[in-house]
Amino acid sequence: MKKAAAISSVLDVPGLPANPFGETGSPSVTVPAGKHLVVETVSVQVDVTPLGSQLEAFVNFTCGGKSVQLFVPLTFAYGQPSNGYDTYVALKAVRLYVDPGTVVSVTTYSPTGSTGTLFVTVSGYLT
């Protein structure tokens, strides 16, 4: 009941999007069928082993029927000697237009290690 009231109060504020959207996926988020997603923020968390490995991340999506791959600069967050993984993160303000029924996903590349769990979080609105 409180959740619905909070959403209704957001939807009634002039200037805010009528259809807010936010979701976390591992490693992807699906856009609802019949709706375009305008992504305003994207967050990525990835880990890599062994400690000290190099790592790159990319956010992938479909815009206007074309595949787009966006490089996301990562920042080292911490190393975990107990499991041998380094964790990297990113949070970026963006404007991505994602086609209905497609996915926003994160992929990685490491020339010196192997990646573990990948998380992507997107927030924005549906049109």
For the segment 55-95, what is each residue's pLDDT rounded down to a tens digit? 999 999 999 999 999 999 999 999 999 999 999 999 999 99
17-47 residues labelled b (16+ CB within 10 A) or e (exposed): eeeebeeebebbbebeeeebbbbbebbbbbb
Say what the pTM is. 0.84
Dihedral of CA atoms 77, 83, 84, 87 in degrees, nearest 10, equals -20
For the segment 2-26, what is each residue's pLDDT rounded down to a tens digit? 445 445 555 566 666 789 999 999 9
